[in-house]
């Protein structure tokens, strides 16, 4: 009886550990050439959204194993950005913008974006500067930078 009280928790940990390792995916090597990003102003009839108060922009970010595509973004200040985070990898990912120091809160996708799924969220950057973003599950490899300009 004491044997099973000891072995059962160890077996449960081994199964959970194996599942966690499988979710982490591969090394990211051997991926195909990056596809162009879809960046378009939303709800505009043309012209530039650069720096306009209340402007809106849609940015698609593809999450693969284990990198973002693109990993460097530029956004005009005071622009509401709709991020479309698409998981084209084989592991669970997320997109987490570390903006609390400048904006008072972080902007994030769903916590778990499963392979083949998409998560959409909005962010409005009111201060210029650099904002790091990451996948909380695949650091330090899966990270990028958003530059907010005037």
CATH number of 71's domain = 2.60.40.420
pLDDT at position 4 is 52
Phi first, then psi, for residue 3 (nearest 5°) are: -60, -50
- Is residue 13 domain-resident? no
Residue 22: its H or E element: helix 2-23
Question: Which tokens sit at 51?
Answer: 């720096």
pLDDT at position 46 is 32
From the list 110, 93, 96, the residue with the least C-alpha distance to 28 is 93
Q: What is the mean pLDDT of each run of 10 residues along the chain (150 residues)?
A: 53 47 45 37 34 75 98 98 99 98 97 98 98 98 98
pLDDT at position 54 is 58
pLDDT at position 7 is 47
pLDDT at position 70 is 99
When divided into structural domains, the chain yields a total of 1
Instruction: Give the domain range for residue 92.
Output: 36-149
């Amino acid at each position: 009886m004491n044997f099973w009280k000891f072995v059962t928790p160890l077996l449960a940990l081994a199964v959970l550990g194996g599942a966690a390792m499988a979710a982490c995916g591969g090394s990211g090597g051997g991926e195909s050439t990056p596809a162009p990003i879809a960046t378009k102003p939303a709800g505009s009839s043309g012209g530039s959204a650069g720096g306009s108060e209340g402007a809106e922009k849609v940015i698609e970010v593809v999450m693969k194993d284990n990198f973002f595509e693109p990993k460097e973004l530029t956004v005009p200040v005071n622009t509401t950005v709709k991020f479309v985070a698409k998981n084209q990898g084989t592991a669970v990912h997320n997109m987490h913008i570390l903006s609390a120091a400048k904006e008072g809160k972080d902007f994030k996708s769903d916590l778990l974006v499963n392979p083949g799924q998409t998560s959409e969220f909005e962010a409005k950057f009111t201060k210029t500067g650099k904002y790091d973003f990451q996948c909380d599950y695949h650091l330090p490899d899966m990270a990028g930078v958003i530059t907010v300009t005037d």
